[in-house]
Structure 1
Amino acid sequence: MLSGFFHRQRWMLLPSSRSGSSRPLIAFLVIAPVLVYLFFVFAVPQILRFRFRTDLGWYDLGWYGFGPSKNYVSFGYESPRPEILEWDPECDPSFVFLAPRGDSIAYPGPMILDAQGELVWMKHNWEITQDFKVQQYQGQNYLIYWEGDEIEGRGQGSWYMLDDSYTQRFQITPVGNFDGDLHEFQITKDDTALVTIYDILPADLTPVGGPALGWIYDGLFQEIDIATGELIFEWRASDHVPLNSTFKTFVGNGNDREAAFDYFHINSVDKDHEGNYIVSARHTHSITCIHRDTGAIIWTLGGKLNDFTLNSPETSFSWQHDARWHGNNTLTLFDNAASSNIDPTAVSRGMTIELDIPGRTATLRAAYYHPQVMEAVSQGSMQILPNGNVFIGWGHSAAFTEFRPNGTLLCNVHFGASAWFTFGRVVSYRTLKGSWVGHPRTVPDAEVEGRHVYVSWNGATEVVMWRLEVWDGKDLREMTFEPRGVFEKTGFETEIEIPDDVHDEYFRLVALDWEGNELGISGVIQRESSGSDPYATGRLVLVICGLLLCGCLLAGLYCAIRRRLSRRAGYRAMKDDEDGPPDANDRQEYHRLLPR
């Protein structure tokens, strides 16, 4: 019978012998150890990088993205949407300068934010941008940043200086056959620039366990006259600092020129009150004072060549950035204390160290810690502000904080999901504060959506109000406009509801300062048509009906094909039935089994 046929087919699907039943167990015993090994080798290190805490919010967990951003109607780019965790009126009200980048930043480049985290100005650069700040040159403020390519933490690019109209005035490169490095561009009181360079040289690497014929990244800095491009001074680490003073482990880099050994890693240069140079070297854990004329080392703080007696173990530092000299024999720096995510005891901080240079003693005067116990594996900055507060950018961790001199936290802001900081999806090499007045040569941008107009002006720092002006309806060739209202500027982009009594098609926005002076006028914009399409609903109904009809036709075709194939298979089964040719009972049984 046909039922017997189906019974035999099902039986063929079962294991043919008892030995087959052990195959899943054998497979499990083989695969399970491999999966466990892969989990501990690849997954566990990544899990340990998470910075979970009990006070994590949706922003910290990445609910709004690893680098939350803000979109605009009148402006074509996105900007960070910082989260202000703590705010105090004692915080310095000046602007924040940063250059966010990483896999979660859609439009990297130099960026200015105000004290509320609102965008003031940004420039999207296709190449990597770092070390964005404001500095004075010949009595005027300039925006300065480095732009170029980055290879294993070293830069190949140039430095750019923009005036208050955001027009490029200088592009500076090192003197000689060198690329400009991303780590430092510091303008001195003599209107010269201190810049860092990485140069590949042959070297004997046996002191660090490498080959006798190897390669190093040598750390250089130059002092350059900005106006003339003339070289004033040049210093090279390999002439003064031995290779075995490094804390960088030799793990194969240095065998080839394309992968040289970076034993020094210069990352900041400054000048002291006598004109000597203060150099920070990350991989030797040292701050070195270099004679302004001879290049000889005067003293070294930290590392294997340390000349100072430290007043406490807390005065030591490692993998540091941004060493700055202050006139009272005080040194500030950002102590990374970490070069990877594998040391759970590493805690980054800002430091103020007082030096008794004749007595060669170093005393820790203050340390500034992030409330979330930050571990910034690279980058970072520390700045003493004009009001005495201390401002710290946490580099590899997308955050910045401001403290009183005594270490009391005043303001705490981050612009990336903090649980993911160690993954480096959002970083800013340095984050600094400064004063800035911008007068862009562009005109304000305005767009209309429905009953609202959106207006912004990238880089205009003095705008406090927008005046809505409407065409008087007389002459299209020489249009004149009448004021219809003044609206307060709110953030980077201001949303203005078009007044009900404005029925004219053309209007514009005028930017005003505190005194009501006109700063700029947008182009003429046209309001959107208020009429609706009378056929829009009908077209939508027709589209929905068409989709439903197509779906029904496809479903019917599928059922017909499936029924026909099942019928053929049934007749074929009856033909092979052991009871002989199919009779009337077989056909009745077949039709009973067909799908309905």
Structure 2
Amino acid sequence: MNRPAVAMVCLGLLLTACGDGDPETSEAAPSTGPAVEFVSRPDLVAPDLEVDQRGPARSPDGSLLFLGPKSEGAPLTGVLIVDDAGDPVWIHPTESRAYDVRVQELDGEPVLTWWRGESPTVGLGAGEFVLVDESYSEIGTVTTGAPLEPGQADIHEGRLTDRGTMLLAAYVKQEHDLTSVGGSEDGWVWDGVVQEVDVDTGEVLLHWSALEHVPLEETRSELPEDGGTEEEPFDWFHVNSVAEDADGSLLVSARNTWAVYDVDRATGEVAWTLGGEASDFALGDGVEFAWQHDAERQPDGTLTLFDNQSEPDVGPTSRGLRLALDEQAMTAAVVTEYLPPDPDRLAGSQGSFQQLPDGTVLIGWGSRPFYSEFADDGTLLTDVALGSGDNYRAYRDRWTGRPETDPDAVLADGRVHVSWNGATEVAAWRVVTGEDEESAVAGDPVPRTGFETAVPLDGDPAYVAVEALDADGGVLGSTVLGD
């Protein structure tokens, strides 16, 4: 594969000045909390996750949780993989905040993807999506293409398709008449754009503009007194998820119209609108959602989303929501609500809904630092506090990490502290000691205990090595202390 990285650029007239702002975290404040440190990797710090088990624990299936913790003062800004106990598996600090961290598939192989870039203003970004393989080596990046500038991919969506393409969102500064929403004739808006880009070639296969297909009057956002200018465009639409529907059309979620749009791929026309000021569906009791994120069609035909209900507040709490759509009668009804354990967990930004193959549901609470798992009927099973820092989306998936680095080991207090950042197949550690390598003898295996395991060391041997073992006792990797 030849997927050259695209250099990050400031986008001049298209975006305001590049900076390290706080996209999609309008209610964020400096956040500090407990952190976990490691003897073997003093350069790494992870948030101390608190797992609140409310129902039956998951049956072990080898799956992991994928997060992108951030916020000023948080222990970690970057990519974080954890297990069911909340223990880190891979800690990857990043210079910019990481969004939409998840496992996807490209050319039949698993890849880990996330957004990196810069934030010109609150709620949007300009950057690219990174793709790494199971060794955590970067194999390519994907970003926007003509008629947009490269490097304009937004934080909200980087969804790979089975055709070797990626669905992206972007925000484009556009001059537009705002008199219909109380602004001036020569006002400015952020247009919500969707592109489908070929991963190998960078060719743009689809380009869709909200401004060309959705009336400005559908916005539920109020035009600020000083908004609607070239310096501060009006964010009237705010595309925050793009997914393929069962028939190949696109489901586009717009936070600031409170609506989900079914978009014809060939013509760009909106086939139907769910929610908002111009809903084509009659909304049943409890259906109305507000400031929502992550709308997707599920295999059973239901439509799911994360209903923020906040910023500004509309309802008492954010929630996961599953809806039944009757596209003949054009009605929408609530199938299941997924409610948090506390009655007022309002997330003013971000959030996600993931339907898992075993029927459980994973909800990421966005700007509220939690993720939760539910039974299919909405029963809360697990609630996990991130400690500090918010998180755009939360995902669960299987992942086999085989880092190209060797394990890390440090001798301290009569023990060997050992870890292997990103390695997912380590079941146990074994210390090998002796006067030299030729005479060294292997000790008994010690089960892996979280990110770092401390193995007792007898005496003061001249030669000390540590071996990482898989579940069958095979050696995955080794490190000689002192090398």
Instruction: Name the TM-score, length of structure 1 as normaliser.
Output: 0.73
Say if 2:33 is the partner of 1:67.
yes
SS at match of 2:78: coil
User: Aligned AA for 2:454?
Assistant: E
Q: Does 1:83 align with 2:50?
A: yes
* C-alpha spacing 1:333/1:198, structure 2 compared with 1 (3 Å): same
Match of 1:411 in 2: 382
Contact 2:409 2:466 in 1 (8 A): yes
Alpha-carbon distance in 1 for matches of 2:179, 2:316:
30
Measured after TM superposition, the shift of residue 187 of structure 1 is 1.1
Provide the rounded CA distance (Å) in 2 between the counterparts of 1:87 and 1:306: 37
Alpha-carbon distance between aligned partners in 2 of 1:181 and 1:252, rounded to the nearest angstrom: 26
Residue 332 in structure 1 maps to residue 304 in structure 2: yes
Alignment equivalent of 2:316, drawn from 343, 346, 349: 346
Instruction: List alignment gaps of at least 5 residues for structure 1.
Output: 1-48, 51-61, 417-424, 527-596
Structural mapping, 1:441-480, within 5 Å: 441-473=404-436
Q: Are 1:283 and 2:256 matched, yes or no?
A: yes
Q: What code does the residue aligned with 1:142 have?
A: V
Provide the rounded CA distance (Å) in 2 between the counterparts of 1:431 and 1:378: 14
1-side partners of 2:190 and 2:114: how far apart? 23
Taking only aligned residues, the RMSD between alpha carbons, in angstroms, comes to 1.9
Partner of 1:358, secondary structure, is coil
2:349 is equivalent to residue 383 of structure 1: no
For 1:162, give the aligned amino acid: V
Alpha-carbon displacement from aligned partner over 1:12-32 (angstroms, at most 9, x marks no partner) = xxxxxxxxxxxxxxxxxxxxx
Match of 1:509 in 2: 466
Write the mapping of 1:196-595 to structure 2, written as runs, cut at 5 A: 196-312=169-285, 314-340=286-312, 345-373=315-343, 374-416=345-387, 426-473=389-436, 481-499=440-458, 502-525=459-482
Say which structure, 1 or 2, has more relative contact order (CA 8 Å, 6+ apart).
Answer: 2
Determine whether 1:145 maps to 2:111: no
Where does the alignment leave 5 or more consecutive residues of structure 2 unmatched? 1-26
Task: Give the secondary-structure state (helix, strand or coil) at the position aligned to 1:355.
Answer: strand
**2:118 equivalent to 1:118:** no
Q: Deviations over 1:461-480 (max 9, x none)?
A: 0001111011433xxxx766
- Give the partner amino acid of 1:391: L
1:183 aligned residue (152, 156, 170): 156
The answer to which of 86-95 and 517-526 deviates more is: 86-95
Is the CA contact (8 Å cut-off) linking 2:103 and 2:113 kept in structure 1? yes
Cα distance in 1, alignment partners of residues 301 and 267 from structure 2: 22
1:222: how far off? 0.6
How far the C-alpha of 1:253 sits from its partner, in A, is: 4.6
**8 A Cα contact 1:110 1:132, kept in partner:** yes
CA contact (8 A) 1:120 1:458 kept: yes
| Aligned mates of 1:523, 1:145 — CA distance in 2 | 34
C-alpha distance in structure 2 between counterparts of 1:217 and 1:277, whole Å = 20
SS at match of 1:161: strand
1:154-169 equivalences in 2 (<5 Å): 154-169=124-139
SS of the equivalent of 2:180 reads: helix
* Post-superposition CA distance 1:395-418 (Å, at most 9, x none): 0011011111111111111113xx
SS of 2:98's equivalent in the other structure is strand
Secondary structure at 2:268's aligned position in 1? coil
- Contact 1:70/1:80, CA 8 A, preserved across alignment: yes
Which piece of structure 1 moves more, 84-93 or 439-448?
84-93
Deviations 1:84-109 (A, max 9, x none): 12254443642110000012313310
Tell me if structure 1 keeps the 8 A contact 2:32–2:75: no
Change (3 A) 1:140 1:316: same
Q: What SS does structure 2 have at the residue aligned with 1:238? A: helix
* Cα deviation, residue 173, structure 1: 1.0
For 2:258, the aligned partner's letter is: H
Query: Which digits, 9 at most, give the CA deviation of each residue in 1:516-574, with x for residues without a partner?
Result: 11101113339xxxxxxxxxxxxxxxxxxxxxxxxxxxxxxxxxxxxxxxxxxxxxxxx
Deviations 1:258-289 (A, max 9, x none): 21100000000001111000000000000000
Q: Which moved more, 1:442-451 or 1:171-180?
A: 171-180
Name the structure where strand makes up a greater proportion of residues: 2
> 1:61-82 deviations in whole A, cap 9, x for unaligned?
x9xx843210100012111111
Verify: 1:95 aligned to 2:64, yes or no: yes
CA deviations 1:339-362 (Å, max 9, x no partner) are 14x66x431000000111122111
Aligned to 2:5: none
Show structure 1 runs of 4+ deviating over 6 A.
none
- SS of residue paired to 1:239: helix
Aligned equivalent of 2:75: 106
Aligned partner of 1:137: which letter?
A: L
Deviation at 1:255, TM superposition (A): 4.1
Distance 1:480 1:206 in 2: 84
CA deviation string 1:401-443 (max 9, x = no partner)? 1111111111111113xxxxxxxx6100001111101100000
Tell me the alpha carbon deviations over residues 83-134 of structure 1, each in whole angstroms, 9 at most, x when there is no partner. 1122544436421100000123133101100011000002110112111011
C-alpha spacing 1:144/1:92, structure 2 compared with 1 (3 Å):
farther
TM-score by length of 2: 0.89
1: CA distance, partners of 2:321 / 2:90: 31
Tell me if structure 1 keeps the 8 A contact 2:77–2:98: yes
Name the structure with the higher helix share: 1
- In the aligned structure 1, how far is the partner of 2:422 from the partner of 2:226? 44
AA matched with 1:467: R
Judged with a 3 Å threshold, the aligned counterparts in structure 2 of structure 1 residues 262 and 271 are, in CA distance, closer, same or farther, namely same
* Contact 1:508–1:525 (Cα < 8 Å) also in 2: no
Q: Helix, strand or coil for the counterpart of 2:390?
A: coil
Pair 92,172 (structure 1): closer, same or farther in 2 beyond 3 Å: farther
Aligned to 2:373, the other structure's residue is in SS state strand
Write the distance in 2 (CA, Å) between the matches of 1:121 and 1:480.
34
SS at match of 2:93: coil
Change (3 A) 1:148 1:92: farther
